[in-house]
């Protein structure tokens, strides 16, 4: 029999669609976590329970419907927005990051409501989660470029596994980890090539990126989502307060790596290191702007005010969506 907290209603499915859409967008952006977006939308505990149930063959209508909505909205966002999101992040980073800071922080009241009342375990978990995100932000800031990874089936399957962990674990950026593994650009390129081939009606051209890149990644994603979700479900059941505290810390700390006022810095031949290699005069014209390092800049008063407005808009949007179906059971 289906438990009350796993029954779905139209407001819950709307939150699931919103969370899946944000998760898809977030997984396209290095530095932003898809899991954080599910957490911010207030659908995270349900999502973890649903994956754990389906992966252990406890098939019920509620969890299946929830997963279908999240998967479809995530997939649609990735398929339709891979190209535009990449361009926006590269050329309008301060706008995108300001908006994502607000969207992320808007989830804090949602998770806090799940975790009340406060306890020692909750506080310690939050401190630990925030510390993890602080270390990850320092590592990200200090990375000169991403590693160069292979593009064979095993490497792509590993990339899918990593992406799954990032989708489940709030605060961990799948895009950034794929960048470190050297798989970010190949996977986004395959998604965009697949989309363009479908638009042109060329199934032959669509099959190459689908079978050569996207299929191994999808297999890794399925395996990773099932494994990590079952682990989290056990933690949420056996040590609920410390686990929720850890998630709160991850959510709050996620904004540390999203300082909005940064922009691409054109590489300097013989000096800049990208993907573990020094840029040369020959490779400089071939280096795409999305691979350039970033530099911080001092914003003008108008831009700073606009950034604050975008943060506020993101916060209100997430909080408003999370309030839909607020009376729905949120058991863990």
Predicted local confidence at residue 310, as pLDDT:
92
Lowest mean pLDDT among 56-60, 101-105, 125-129, 182-186: 182-186
Q: Are 74 and 21 in contact (CB under 8 A)?
A: yes
248 band by pLDDT with thresholds 50, 70 and 90: confident
The percent of residues in the chain predicted with pLDDT above 70, rounded, is 78
Residue with tokens 């009342």: 117
Q: How far is CA 9 from the centre of its chain?
A: 25
Mean pLDDT rounded to a whole number for the chain: 76
Which of the two residues, 127 and 23, has the higher pLDDT score?
127
Category of 265 on φ-ψ map: left (φ > 0), alpha (ψ -120 to 50) or beta? beta
Q: What is the pLDDT of residues 195-227, one digit of tens each?
A: 888 888 878 788 877 787 788 888 887 787 777
Predicted local confidence at residue 175, as pLDDT:
65
Predicted local confidence at residue 305, as pLDDT:
94
Q: What is the pLDDT of residues 105-155, one digit of tens each?
A: 876 776 777 777 778 888 898 898 888 878 867 766 655 444 444 557 777
For residues 69-79, give the mean pLDDT.
86
Which of the two residues, 160 and 141, has the higher pLDDT score?
160
pLDDT of 83 above 80? no
Tokens of residue 52, six digits: 């754990």
Q: What are the Cα distances from residue 111, in Å, to 38, 108, 226, 254?
A: 11, 5, 22, 14
Tokens of residue 310, six digits: 């975008």
For residues 159-169, give the mean pLDDT.
72
Predicted local confidence at residue 308, as pLDDT:
93
Predicted local confidence at residue 309, as pLDDT:
94
Which of the two residues, 168 and 144, has the higher pLDDT score?
168
């Amino acid at each position: 029999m289906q438990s009350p907290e796993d029954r779905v209603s139209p407001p819950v499915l709307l939150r699931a669609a919103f969370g899946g859409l944000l998760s898809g967008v977030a997984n396209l952006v290095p530095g932003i976590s898809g899991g954080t977006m599910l957490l911010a939308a207030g659908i995270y505990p349900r999502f973890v329970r649903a994956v754990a149930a389906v992966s252990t063959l406890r098939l019920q209508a509620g969890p299946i419907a929830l997963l279908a909505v999240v998967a479809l909205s995530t997939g649609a966002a990735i398929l339709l927005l891979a190209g535009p999101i990449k361009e926006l992040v590269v050329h309008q980073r301060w706008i995108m990051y300001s908006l994502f800071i607000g969207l992320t922080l808007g989830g804090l009241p949602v998770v806090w409501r799940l975790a009340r009342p406060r306890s020692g375990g909750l506080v310690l978990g939050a401190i630990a989660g925030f510390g993890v995100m602080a270390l990850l932000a320092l590592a990200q800031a200090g990375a000169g470029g991403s590693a160069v990874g292979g593009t064979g089936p095993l490497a792509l399957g590993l990339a899918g596994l990593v992406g799954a962990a990032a989708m489940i674990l709030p605060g961990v950026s799948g895009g950034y980890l794929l960048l470190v593994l050297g798989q970010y650009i190949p996977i986004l390129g395959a998604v965009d090539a697949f989309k363009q081939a479908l638009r042109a009606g060329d199934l032959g051209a669509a099959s190459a990126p689908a079978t050569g890149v996207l299929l191994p990644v999808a297999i890794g994603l399925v395996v990773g989502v099932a494994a990590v979700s079952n682990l989290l479900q056990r933690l949420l059941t056996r040590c609920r307060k410390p686990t929720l505290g850890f998630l709160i810390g991850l959510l709050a700390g996620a904004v540390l790596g999203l300082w909005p006022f940064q922009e691409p810095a054109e590489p300097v031949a013989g000096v800049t290191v990208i993907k573990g290699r020094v840029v040369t005069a020959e490779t400089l014209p071939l280096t795409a702007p999305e691979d350039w390092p970033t530099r911080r800049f001092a914003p003008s008063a108008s831009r700073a005010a606009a950034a604050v407005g975008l943060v506020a808009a993101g916060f209100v949007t997430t909080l408003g969506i999370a309030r839909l179906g607020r009376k729905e059971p949120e058991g863990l």
